[in-house]
Amino acid sequence: MKKIKKLNTIDLFAGAGGLSLGFMRTGGFDIKAAVEYDKYAAKTYAENHEGVEVLQDDASTISFKEKIEDKYGKVDVVIGGPPCQGFSNANRQKTSLISGNNQLVQHYVRAIKELNPTAFVLENVKTLESSRHFFFVESGNIKEVRELGIPTRKERIALCVGEESTTLATDALQHKDDLDMYRMNKEGYSVLCKLLKFSRTSERAAEYVKNQEKKVKKLFADWDQMYKAFWNENWENFFCSSKEILQKFADENQQYSVYFERLKTLVEVEQAIERLNELHENHIDCEIQISDSRITVIADTFSVKDYLEHNFKALGYVINKAFLNAADFGVPQTRERFIMIGIKKDIIGEKEIKLPSRILQMEDYNTVRDAIEDLEKLETSIQADAPEIHSIFKEGSKLATLLNNRNTISNHVITDTGDVAKERFKALEQGENFHNLDKSLKTTYSLPERTQNTIYLRLQYDEPSGTVMNVRKSMWIHPTLNRALSIREAARLQSFPNSFVLYGSKNSQYQQVGNAVPPLLGQAIAECLLEQLGMQSESSLADDLGVEKGCNNVCYLNREGDHVA
């Protein structure tokens, strides 16, 4: 293959920079700039990617041409993973219908339109192609939908569920042109939502009210000013009488069931108003259906999948997509992600776009032991800015050697664990989780039976981990030690080497790791892209892992998003 100059590249929604790190390892990409709004993630990126300008900008407002192309010249490759959140009617705590995250997908497409790169890589959640990820047809996009021929479908969405809340909310519908006048203020509504969230049992409700005493007292002090106006006398009477019911429980812990039902109705009615107002403000035409116990809207929508495919094809790209499992590429973690690669048709011609072939078979996967065993005897800290410590790595697997690229360790930091959590740690064996605990150790959870299997999970040394998210929130446990997993250990499971240092608050560092694309997966994608652009990678992931490159055993998707061989 011919050797040509490095490809000018930008990374959008870059996070801490796991995808960029993988691309840079190939030596074929000159990453000019990265766009990342979060200040801590932006700092982590800047400190670990020398020579890359980090733009701490909102991708929804930035002019990619002015900020990037006018400064760095023609962009060859765009990479990145725009956050995308699916909608679920089952999520009662979620007020908004229109996810701001989903809109970021549109700005990734806008970047491709403005920069017209030779190729792009889009990384996202595995469920991106499901029906949960959609946009509403509204005045601002209906022209584009029609011109591109994007298929639409009717979506049924519950505005309100419950007999009493439906009766009350129905009266508000006649004011849909002026709902802003009749909405609860944001501060009060936020407190009510949190009270409901932590009130699934009387004990939990009393504990939360006690812990949030200042906020609760302020809620009652501001009660009469929470609305500019009421839409009718029934709602005014209901709202005003609610203060006494909620206050009675807050002050005396009495009449819990009455307290919970009243709180639930208040939140349900306000949620319906918020959603209806959102539909109206965004000029979304919808049909409203009302029954005795439910208010439903029916609106035209189109899927994120169809939006992406129709736009990229209209822009002259040949695309292909796959679910890639990070464990297939040496990452000690079974993490499945949606990957789409697009290359200009005048470059690729009639060839099919390839995605990387798996390097490891399941029986050869790297394990938690390969990634973190050498850290077992190193002392952890609870301080986010703990100083570096010397490693004691001597020898290990190919992966362990790859990750131990310097003899000091940063971010070997853990969450400060309470007594109850420590007792749970002690009670669990490798591979067990919250559901394996005795009932006496589950009392702080209002609905323990609904707790996810990833909560209080003790990792197994001789298996890959599951998908690494924010392991601080999930309270993942070290395989053999009765402590939480450290930030560095979580980073190792994502295939970040010792030389990669995270910055920011403790929770931010955990979150940055959980949000990241594993660098080894990024490298596999980058090598595959280079090959199709007639370039050679300076390094080989297969060689780094000490294996021969495997057969093309990727599970592709058909047009409906189903798995095909």
Could you report the per-residue pLDDT of 206-222, keeping only the tens digit for each? 989 999 999 999 999 99
CA distance 207 to 201: 10
Could you report the per-residue pLDDT of 58-117, keeping only the tens digit for each? 998 999 999 999 999 999 999 999 998 777 665 545 567 776 667 899 999 999 999 999
* Consecutive H or E run containing 77: strand 77-80
Q: Is residue 182 part of a domain?
A: yes
Same domain, 115 and 240: no
Quote the pLDDT of residue 550.
42
**What does 136-179 look like in DSSP terms, one character per residue?**
E--TTTHHHHHHHT---EEEEEEEEESHHHHHHHHTTGGGGGGG
Same domain, 345 and 377: no
Same domain, 482 and 499: yes
What stretches in the chain show pLDDT beneath 50?
1-2, 92, 550-565
Residue that the structure tokens 């929130």 belong to: 473
Q: Is residue 152 part of a domain?
A: no
Quote the pLDDT of residue 98.
77
Quote the pLDDT of residue 555.
39
Q: Is residue 492 part of a domain?
A: yes
Quote the pLDDT of residue 444.
76
Structural domain including 201 reads 163-292
Q: How many domains does the chain have?
A: 3
Same domain, 399 and 443: yes
Q: Is residue 31 part of a domain?
A: yes
CA distance 41 to 489: 18
Quote the pLDDT of residue 556.
36
Q: Is residue 556 part of a domain?
A: yes
CATH code for the domain in which residue 17 is found: 3.40.50.150
Same domain, 11 and 122: yes
Helix 202-211 vs helix 186-197: crossing angle, to nearest 10: 140
Q: Take residue 346 and report the two structure tokens written for it.
A: 């005048």
Q: Do residues 370 and 158 make contact, with C-beta atoms less than 8 angstroms apart? A: no
Same domain, 356 and 231: no
Decide which of 257, 292, 327 is a domain's last residue: 292
Catalytic residue among 84, 160, 193, 528: 84
Quote the pLDDT of residue 450.
73
Same domain, 109 and 191: no
Q: Is 559 exposed, middle or buried (0-12, 13-18, 19+ CB in 10 A)?
A: exposed
Same domain, 353 and 283: no
Quote the pLDDT of residue 553.
40
Same domain, 412 and 468: yes
Q: Take residue 86 and report the two structure tokens written for it.
A: 């699916």
pTM of this prediction? 0.90
Could you report the per-residue pLDDT of 368-390, keeping only the tens digit for each? 999 999 999 999 999 999 999 99
Same domain, 113 and 168: no
Decide which of 254, 271, 292 is a domain's last residue: 292
Same domain, 126 and 100: yes
Q: Is residue 153 part of a domain?
A: no
Q: Is 84 one of the catalytic residues? A: yes
* Consecutive H or E run containing 67: none
Residue that the structure tokens 């009477």 belong to: 237
CATH code for the domain in which residue 505 is found: 3.90.120.10
Residue that the structure tokens 């297939």 belong to: 328
Decide which of 517, 536, 555 is a domain's last residue: 517
Q: Do residues 216 and 208 make contact, with C-beta atoms less than 8 angstroms apart? A: no
| CB burial readout 431-462, b (16+ within 10 A) else e | ebbbebbeeebbeebbeeeebeebbbbbbbbe
Quote the pLDDT of residue 557.
38
Quote the pLDDT of residue 543.
95
Same domain, 65 and 53: yes
Q: Do residues 286 and 318 make contact, with C-beta atoms less than 8 angstroms apart? A: no
Q: Is residue 378 part of a domain?
A: yes
Q: Is residue 158 part of a domain?
A: no
